[in-house]
A and B are shown apart, each in its own frame.
Chain A
Amino acid sequence: MLVHRSTKRGVFAVAVAAVAALAVSALPAQAFSPHSEVGVTSTTIKLGITVPLTGAAAPGYNKVPYAMKAYFDYVNDNGGVNGRKIQLVIKDDAYSPILAKSVTNDLILKDKVFALVGTLGTANNEATSKFVNDKGVPRLFVNTGFSGFANTKKYPTTYALFPSYYMEAKAIGGYLDDKFAGKKVALIYQDDDFGIDALAGFNQVGTKFVAKIPYASGSQTDPTVVGKWITSIVTSGADTVVLFGVSTATAAALGGAYKAGLAGKVQWILGSVGADPTTIKTLAPTALPLLNGAIAASFLPSANDSADEYVAQFQKINTQYNKGASFDNNVLVGMNAGMLAVQALRAAGTSPTRAKLMAAIDASGSKFASAGFAPLGWSKSSHIGYNGYWFGRIAADATIAPVDGAGKYVLYTTDSSTGAVVKSAIARPAMPAKGLPTN
């Protein structure tokens, strides 16, 4: 009986301890704010972001928030937004929806941010959606290409920035019709929603493939799997291969094709997800010979194109405010989202509210200046950001230049339903002087 009693006493003691701990931690962390809107005072505006700072997904992605913060610091040093300084609260979600949910709770309930900006990951954004909606917190420029977030009924406060995979496939299909008519095209794609979205897009524009080669996410590291891709390509007689997968799949495919002696025999066209030359270079040096000459879809300028006015300005800011970070695509993405956020905040007026912020993006977001070559599609009825791609050729030094020659950008824009693919010249708004928005 001794143990029986002591166990019960133990359980009771622990329960009391638990209640006490909860009660103590229940003391509210209220912050006094003279301004009527959450997260906005007469001198500050507080924004929040969740990203993986630790864990397997952290390398690369962990540069996004600091680049954004560097841009905000630059704007703050130049007068801020209507006299208010932007504070960015950065939270680590380790790329786990469980953590994303709890740190988003912290951002909204404890830190009391005005809006979220650049939150990263599909499942992570999905996990926080209900709460973000219920609280009416604007969630600007989510860092994911999942097409679902543009659904304004389901995610009324969310603004997508990247074009969806479906739109990307349509744009690639349009490009193939334009430049590769009559060629034998094969497709390698990831057989999950990422690839399925893309297949639907290709079907929509009627792209015909001589071979469709699916692969399970993760299987690309298996050399026998890659061997099968190469065999399928060779037996189908394809002279052009579209690769709609992640960077590791690109690296594996190009490496395998080089070994099989396909160099110079097949033209590779890479989807934007798996087309970052710097990443591929680090992943598989064996892929390099075929990377040279591959065509890649992008909506932002190349991060190493210092002739681009936005890239040049961001590089300057990066040196001054983001010391120690090498300038790459992640830094470009972070600063670009920061610049858009500043314009959205300015457009929301001198006494911003969450409702005014969203109304301002709906009304004038499509005119915001940004580094992207594709136009922005935000309006009252659509929360889709960029809606098109340009195609560039990767050079031996891993830089990307437009296929038709330096500076000759051609855009393939489309929509997220049955609209046609439209070819146009780029019409990007000029960068505001010194990268400081004046809208």
Chain B
Amino acid sequence: MRKSKSLSALIFFAIGLFLLGLSNFVDELRAYQGAQVGIYVIAISSIILLTGFSGQISLGHGALMAIGGYSAVLSYNHWHFPMLLAFTFGAAVAALAGFILGMAAARLSGPYLAGTTLALAVGLPSLANQFHILGGEQGLSFDIGEAPKWIADKTGGDFTQYKWFFWISVTCTLFTMWFIKNLLQSRFGRTWRAVRGNPSAAALSGINIGRSKVLAFTVSSALAGLAGALLAMILGLVAPMAFTLTLSFTLVTGAVLAGVSNLGGSIIGALVLVVIPEITDAVATHLGGSEKISANLPGLITSVLLILTVIFAPNGPQLHKRNKSGKAKTQ
């Protein structure tokens, strides 16, 4: 087990180096999209962890991202936290919110839980208008600046801000994926799967179901908070408009496309979300079609993909049968 852990760490490290190296060969647009993919991977993973592994539903992850984003920006702008600490702070505050929400969530299930989290996603962003410190409708600006000089010098040439975003996003994403992967293989991961699979059996085996659910909600919220902070970074601001209901639904869509119980699939989900508008734009341009087509096509394609996924590969394109993970539990 120890050997496989260090091997997986090595693999993640290698992928990271490769991606960072790759950033020297892509233009700014792709670097930005790469950063976006990273953020979606983290956000979708947080939903997969919650829904796929602990069996809870959240339609309000956009709100948790908002909490993370606003906390990171406030700590960075007002208390002058260093960037990394600001991101951690964003994740921590979102975790705290998730902990409180999780206490309520542990008592609810199915549509009731979905409704509660949905209400959060609807209501929370409008808080920004109630407190002056949150900057109202136009939000708060967030400029992390350029890459440190020593990094820019080392890699040589033109180190744009988008490339710096890509570096930060990729690093955070890989770290997060490594963390979740290990967490899911730990006692906590096994507990969550047991609770999701059969709560009664899990309780009989001595698992505290409530505590397990709250913990899953807390960890998931921390990840959503981190994604929110990173989103604020690439946008250069936090504003209520950035964390709408649409974002929450987009994330759930991404998670379903990924296969809700398949962590690796989050990369597919994130790629689909970022790449589809790009493809439809190219198609519409080649067809000489209007922007009305390219504006509406992504929604259509995503919906079709969603339906196809649910019909043909309900557990995601990678894992077709959930009972595989069922076997894992019995090990």
Contact = CB atoms under 8 A, between A and B. Distances in A.
- Bound together: yes
A91 interface: yes
Given A21-B275, A94-B246, A97-B239, A15 B15 contact: yes
A315 interface: no
A96 B139 CA distance: 13
B interface: dominant SS? helix
Given A8-B8, A26-B26, A54 B236 contact: no
B239 A126 contact: yes
Interface string A114-136: 00000001111011011100100
Contact of A123 (B37, B239, B247): B239
Contacts of B296: 54
Interface string A25-65: 11010000000000000000000000001110000000000
B181 A3 contact: no
A22 B32 CA distance: 11
B83 to A, nearest CB: 16
B101 to A, nearest CB: 23
A89 B290 CA distance: 10
A396 interface: no
Given A90-B291, A96-B242, A97-B235, A110 B328 contact: no
Contacts of A98: 231, 235, 242, 247
A271 to B, nearest CB: 16
Interface in B102-139: 126, 129-130, 132, 135-139
A101 B318 contact: no
Interface stretch (B50-58, B148-156, B206-214, B261-269): B261-269
Contacts of B325: 3
Nearest to B138: A122
B136 A193 contact: yes
Nearest to B246: A96
Contacts of A124: 241
Given A22-B26, A54-B299, A124-B241, A218 B126 contact: yes
B80 interface: no
A7 interface: yes
Contacts of B234: 101
A92 interface: yes
A221 interface: no
B328 A4 contact: yes
Contact of B268 (A14, A101, A102): A14
Given A4-B185, A11-B181, A102-B32, A123 B139 contact: yes
B221 interface: no
A3 B324 contact: yes
A94 B246 CA distance: 10
Given A14-B265, A96-B244, A192-B129, A126 B138 contact: yes
Contacts of B176: none
A281 B138 CA distance: 29
A97 B241 contact: yes
B224 to A, nearest CB: 15
| Residue of A123, A124, A191 ringed by the most chain B CB atoms within 10 A | A123
Given A22-B30, A105-B29, A17 B242 contact: no
Contacts, number: 169
A18 B267 contact: yes
A148 B22 CA distance: 38
A2 interface: yes
Contact of A216 (B130, B181, B267, B327): B130
B138 A123 contact: yes
B130 A10 contact: no
A12 interface: yes
Contacts of B281: 106
Contacts of A131: 161, 236
A151 B231 CA distance: 26
A159 interface: no
Interface in B15-38: 15, 18-19, 22, 25-30, 32-34, 36-37
Contacts of A217: 126, 129, 137
A53 B18 CA distance: 39
Nearest to A6: B324
A141 interface: no
A194 B4 contact: no
B88 interface: no
A146 interface: yes
B11 interface: yes
Given A22-B22, A26-B27, A146-B138, 11 more contacts: A2-B327, A3-B327, A10-B318, A12-B11, A14-B268, A21-B275, A23-B26, A101-B236, A122-B137, A130-B161, A193-B135
Interface of A: 1-4, 6-8, 10-15, 17-19, 21-23, 25-26, 28, 53-55, 89-92, 94-98, 101-102, 105-106, 109-110, 121-124, 126-127, 129-131, 134, 146, 148, 191-194, 196, 216-218
Interface of B: 4, 8, 11, 15, 18-19, 22, 25-30, 32-34, 36-37, 126, 129-130, 132, 135-139, 141, 143, 161, 177, 181, 185, 231, 234-237, 239-242, 244, 246-247, 262-265, 267-268, 271, 275, 277-278, 281, 291-292, 294-296, 299, 318-319, 324-325, 327-328, 331
Closest 5 CB pairs of A and B: A92-B295, A193-B136, A123-B239, A26-B26, A11-B264
18 contacts: A2-B324, A8-B8, A13-B318, A21-B271, A23-B26, A26-B25, A53-B295, A55-B246, A97-B239, A102-B36, A106-B29, A109-B27, A121-B241, A123-B242, A126-B239, A130-B161, A216-B126, A216-B130
